[in-house]
Chain A
Protein backbone atom coordinates (compact mmCIF):
# COMPACT_ATOMS: atom_id res chain seq x y z
CA UNK A 1 0.00 0.00 0.00
CA UNK A 2 1.43 3.41 -0.96
CA UNK A 3 -1.14 5.71 0.63
CA UNK A 4 1.21 6.54 3.53
CA UNK A 5 4.89 7.10 2.75
CA UNK A 6 7.63 7.27 5.34
CA UNK A 7 11.21 8.41 4.78
CA UNK A 8 13.87 7.39 5.39
CA UNK A 9 13.27 3.64 5.66
CA UNK A 10 16.42 3.16 7.72
CA UNK A 11 18.32 5.62 9.91
CA UNK A 12 21.45 5.15 11.98
CA UNK A 13 22.43 8.01 14.23
CA UNK A 14 24.64 8.81 17.16
CA UNK A 15 23.22 9.99 20.44
CA UNK A 16 24.25 13.59 19.80
CA UNK A 17 22.81 13.85 16.28
CA UNK A 18 19.66 15.64 15.19
CA UNK A 19 17.52 14.04 12.51
CA UNK A 20 13.92 14.05 11.34
CA UNK A 21 11.49 11.37 10.22
CA UNK A 22 8.96 12.28 7.58
CA UNK A 23 5.48 10.93 6.89
CA UNK A 24 3.21 11.86 4.02
CA UNK A 25 -0.32 10.69 3.25
CA UNK A 26 -2.27 11.17 0.03
CA UNK A 27 -5.56 9.77 1.33
CA UNK A 28 -7.24 13.00 2.35
CA UNK A 29 -7.29 11.91 5.98
CA UNK A 30 -7.70 14.30 8.89
CA UNK A 31 -5.85 12.43 11.64
CA UNK A 32 -2.22 11.31 11.74
CA UNK A 33 -0.35 9.23 14.31
CA UNK A 34 3.17 8.29 15.37
CA UNK A 35 3.75 4.87 16.93
CA UNK A 36 6.87 3.23 18.33
CA UNK A 37 7.32 -0.51 17.87
CA UNK A 38 10.08 -2.16 19.87
CA UNK A 39 11.00 -5.81 19.82
CA UNK A 40 8.82 -7.93 22.12
CA UNK A 41 6.77 -4.92 23.25
CA UNK A 42 3.23 -3.82 22.37
CA UNK A 43 2.75 -1.06 19.86
CA UNK A 44 3.11 2.30 21.66
CA UNK A 45 1.10 5.33 20.60
CA UNK A 46 3.29 8.45 20.77
CA UNK A 47 1.41 11.36 19.23
CA UNK A 48 -1.91 12.08 17.56
CA UNK A 49 -2.74 15.02 15.34
CA UNK A 50 -6.30 15.83 14.30
CA UNK A 51 -6.80 18.60 11.74
CA UNK A 52 -3.15 19.62 12.36
CA UNK A 53 -3.71 20.07 16.08
CA UNK A 54 -1.94 17.81 18.55
CA UNK A 55 -4.55 15.93 20.54
CA UNK A 56 -2.40 13.37 22.28
CA UNK A 57 1.10 13.28 23.69
CA UNK A 58 1.44 9.94 25.36
CA UNK A 59 4.10 10.92 27.93
CA UNK A 60 6.77 10.93 25.27
CA UNK A 61 10.22 12.29 26.25
CA UNK A 62 11.00 15.77 24.96
CA UNK A 63 13.85 14.43 22.82
CA UNK A 64 11.03 13.50 20.40
CA UNK A 65 9.37 16.55 18.89
CA UNK A 66 6.47 16.17 16.44
CA UNK A 67 5.42 18.66 13.81
CA UNK A 68 2.33 18.68 11.63
CA UNK A 69 2.45 21.59 9.16
CA UNK A 70 -0.67 20.41 7.29
CA UNK A 71 -3.04 17.45 7.23
CA UNK A 72 -0.87 15.58 4.73
CA UNK A 73 2.52 15.79 6.42
CA UNK A 74 3.83 14.71 9.78
CA UNK A 75 7.38 14.94 11.07
CA UNK A 76 9.18 13.53 14.07
CA UNK A 77 12.25 15.52 15.03
CA UNK A 78 14.87 13.62 16.99
CA UNK A 79 17.71 14.90 19.15
CA UNK A 80 20.01 13.45 21.81
CA UNK A 81 18.36 10.05 21.60
CA UNK A 82 19.20 7.10 23.82
CA UNK A 83 20.00 3.51 22.81
CA UNK A 84 16.58 2.39 24.06
CA UNK A 85 15.01 4.60 21.41
CA UNK A 86 16.12 2.15 18.73
CA UNK A 87 12.90 0.82 17.23
CA UNK A 88 10.60 0.82 14.21
CA UNK A 89 8.69 4.10 14.05
CA UNK A 90 5.36 3.82 12.28
CA UNK A 91 3.21 6.58 10.93
CA UNK A 92 -0.51 6.09 10.35
CA UNK A 93 -3.45 8.15 9.18
CA UNK A 94 -7.22 7.79 9.42
CA UNK A 95 -10.25 9.64 8.10
CA UNK A 96 -11.21 10.74 11.59
CA UNK A 97 -9.55 10.60 15.00
CA UNK A 98 -10.44 7.33 16.64
CA UNK A 99 -12.34 5.95 13.69
CA UNK A 100 -15.65 7.73 14.18
CA UNK A 101 -16.43 7.16 10.52
CA UNK A 102 -15.72 3.44 10.97
CA UNK A 103 -12.71 3.78 8.75
CA UNK A 104 -9.45 2.13 9.70
CA UNK A 105 -5.96 3.47 10.05
CA UNK A 106 -3.57 3.20 7.13
CA UNK A 107 0.09 2.62 7.96
CA UNK A 108 3.39 3.44 6.33
CA UNK A 109 6.20 0.89 6.19
CA UNK A 110 8.04 2.61 9.03
CA UNK A 111 11.51 3.95 9.69
CA UNK A 112 13.94 1.51 11.31
CA UNK A 113 15.94 3.68 13.70
CA UNK A 114 19.21 2.53 15.25
CA UNK A 115 20.98 4.60 17.89
CA UNK A 116 24.68 4.01 18.27
Chain B
Protein backbone atom coordinates (compact mmCIF):
# COMPACT_ATOMS: atom_id res chain seq x y z
CA UNK B 1 0.00 0.00 0.00
CA UNK B 2 1.05 3.56 -0.59
CA UNK B 3 0.65 6.60 1.60
CA UNK B 4 1.84 10.19 1.76
CA UNK B 5 2.39 12.34 4.81
CA UNK B 6 2.84 16.08 4.65
CA UNK B 7 4.16 16.98 8.04
CA UNK B 8 2.95 20.57 8.14
CA UNK B 9 -0.59 21.68 7.37
CA UNK B 10 0.51 25.32 7.29
CA UNK B 11 3.89 26.96 6.71
CA UNK B 12 4.46 30.68 6.96
CA UNK B 13 7.63 32.39 5.65
CA UNK B 14 8.73 35.94 4.95
CA UNK B 15 9.24 37.08 1.39
CA UNK B 16 12.82 36.44 0.29
CA UNK B 17 13.46 33.66 2.83
CA UNK B 18 13.81 29.94 2.02
CA UNK B 19 10.85 27.61 1.73
CA UNK B 20 10.81 24.00 2.96
CA UNK B 21 7.68 21.86 2.57
CA UNK B 22 8.06 18.35 3.90
CA UNK B 23 6.75 15.13 2.38
CA UNK B 24 7.28 11.53 3.44
CA UNK B 25 5.92 8.58 1.56
CA UNK B 26 5.40 4.87 1.92
CA UNK B 27 5.39 2.56 -1.08
CA UNK B 28 5.93 -1.13 -1.71
CA UNK B 29 7.35 -0.36 -5.14
CA UNK B 30 9.78 2.11 -6.62
CA UNK B 31 7.61 5.20 -6.62
CA UNK B 32 7.07 8.12 -8.90
CA UNK B 33 6.64 11.29 -6.85
CA UNK B 34 5.13 14.62 -7.78
CA UNK B 35 4.56 18.04 -6.26
CA UNK B 36 1.58 20.11 -7.31
CA UNK B 37 0.59 23.69 -6.47
CA UNK B 38 -2.96 24.97 -6.26
CA UNK B 39 -3.87 28.64 -6.19
CA UNK B 40 -7.36 29.63 -4.97
CA UNK B 41 -10.18 28.45 -7.22
CA UNK B 42 -7.75 26.89 -9.66
CA UNK B 43 -6.78 23.36 -10.54
CA UNK B 44 -3.58 21.61 -9.50
CA UNK B 45 -0.51 22.57 -11.49
CA UNK B 46 2.48 20.22 -11.70
CA UNK B 47 5.61 21.74 -10.15
CA UNK B 48 8.00 18.83 -10.62
CA UNK B 49 8.27 15.05 -10.78
CA UNK B 50 10.69 12.33 -9.74
CA UNK B 51 10.71 9.19 -11.86
CA UNK B 52 13.87 7.28 -10.86
CA UNK B 53 16.36 9.44 -12.73
CA UNK B 54 18.29 12.16 -10.89
CA UNK B 55 17.46 12.38 -7.19
CA UNK B 56 17.54 16.18 -7.22
CA UNK B 57 14.67 17.38 -9.35
CA UNK B 58 14.25 20.93 -10.58
CA UNK B 59 10.81 22.28 -11.30
CA UNK B 60 9.09 25.43 -12.37
CA UNK B 61 9.20 28.78 -10.57
CA UNK B 62 12.52 28.01 -8.87
CA UNK B 63 11.30 25.02 -6.86
CA UNK B 64 13.26 21.82 -6.46
CA UNK B 65 12.91 18.60 -4.51
CA UNK B 66 15.30 15.87 -3.44
CA UNK B 67 14.37 12.21 -3.39
CA UNK B 68 15.94 10.43 -0.41
CA UNK B 69 15.15 6.74 -0.45
CA UNK B 70 16.75 6.02 2.91
CA UNK B 71 14.52 8.61 4.55
CA UNK B 72 11.49 7.97 2.30
CA UNK B 73 11.27 11.71 1.81
CA UNK B 74 10.69 14.10 -1.07
CA UNK B 75 10.86 17.57 0.45
CA UNK B 76 10.14 20.65 -1.66
CA UNK B 77 12.42 23.67 -1.38
CA UNK B 78 12.89 27.11 -2.85
CA UNK B 79 15.78 29.45 -1.95
CA UNK B 80 13.73 32.64 -1.84
CA UNK B 81 9.97 32.90 -1.41
CA UNK B 82 7.91 35.25 -3.51
CA UNK B 83 4.46 36.58 -2.67
CA UNK B 84 3.06 34.68 -5.65
CA UNK B 85 4.16 31.39 -4.05
CA UNK B 86 1.36 31.63 -1.49
CA UNK B 87 -0.84 28.63 -2.30
CA UNK B 88 -1.65 25.05 -1.33
CA UNK B 89 0.97 22.41 -2.14
CA UNK B 90 0.31 18.69 -2.58
CA UNK B 91 2.77 15.81 -2.56
CA UNK B 92 1.62 12.80 -4.62
CA UNK B 93 2.93 9.26 -5.02
CA UNK B 94 2.23 6.78 -7.78
CA UNK B 95 3.71 3.32 -7.96
CA UNK B 96 2.23 1.02 -10.52
CA UNK B 97 -0.38 0.49 -13.14
CA UNK B 98 -3.85 0.02 -11.77
CA UNK B 99 -3.21 1.77 -8.49
CA UNK B 100 -4.47 5.26 -8.05
CA UNK B 101 -2.35 8.30 -7.40
CA UNK B 102 -2.18 8.92 -3.65
CA UNK B 103 -2.34 12.52 -2.47
CA UNK B 104 -1.02 14.04 0.71
CA UNK B 105 -3.38 16.28 2.69
CA UNK B 106 -1.70 19.45 1.47
CA UNK B 107 0.39 22.22 3.00
CA UNK B 108 -0.79 25.79 2.86
CA UNK B 109 2.09 28.19 2.29
CA UNK B 110 1.71 31.79 3.42
CA UNK B 111 4.26 34.40 2.38
CA UNK B 112 4.49 37.49 4.55
CA UNK B 113 5.70 40.83 3.16
Chain A positions within 8 Å of B, measured between CB atoms, are 1, 4, 6, 42-43, 45, 48, 55-56, 88, 90, 92, 94, 96-100, 102, 104-110, 112
Query: Is B101 a contact partner of A99 (Cβ separation < 8 A)?
Result: yes
Query: Is B51 a contact partner of A102 (Cβ separation < 8 A)?
Result: yes
Query: Is A100 a contact partner of B97 (Cβ separation < 8 A)?
Result: yes
- B contact patch SS: loop
Query: Is A42 a contact partner of B105 (Cβ separation < 8 A)?
Result: yes
- B113 contacts chain A at the CB level, 8 A cutoff: no
Of the stretches B17-25, B40-48, B70-78, the one at the interface is B40-48
Q: How far is the CB of A58 from chain B (nearest CB, A)?
A: 9
A112 and B41 alpha carbons, distance in the complex (Å)? 8
Contact partner of B41 (CB less than 8 A), chosen from A55, A92, A104, A110, is A110
Query: Is A98 a contact partner of B98 (Cβ separation < 8 A)?
Result: yes
Q: How far is the CB of A107 from chain B (nearest CB, A)?
A: 4
Contact partner of A43 (CB less than 8 A), chosen from B90, B95, B98, is B90
Which 8 residue pairs spanning A and B have beta carbons closest together? Answer: A99-B94, A100-B97, A107-B43, A102-B51, A107-B44, A109-B43, A98-B99, A102-B32
A97 and B52 alpha carbons, distance in the complex (Å)? 19
Q: Find chain A residues with CB under 8 A from B95 CB.
A: 98-99
A102 and B49 alpha carbons, distance in the complex (Å)? 9
User: What's the tally of chain B residues with a CB closer than 8 Å to chain A?
Assistant: 25
Q: How far is the CB of B56 from chain A (nearest CB, A)?
A: 17
Contact partner of B106 (CB less than 8 A), chosen from A42, A55, A102, A106, is A42
**Interface-central residue, A4, A96, A99, by most chain B CB under 10 Å:** A99
Query: Is B45 a contact partner of A1 (Cβ separation < 8 A)?
Result: yes
CB<8 Å pairs between A and B, sample of 30 = A1-B43, A1-B45, A6-B43, A42-B103, A42-B106, A43-B103, A45-B100, A48-B100, A94-B101, A96-B97, A98-B94, A98-B95, A98-B99, A100-B97, A102-B32, A102-B49, A102-B51, A102-B52, A104-B46, A104-B49, A104-B92, A105-B44, A106-B46, A107-B36, A107-B43, A107-B44, A108-B43, A109-B41, A109-B43, A110-B43
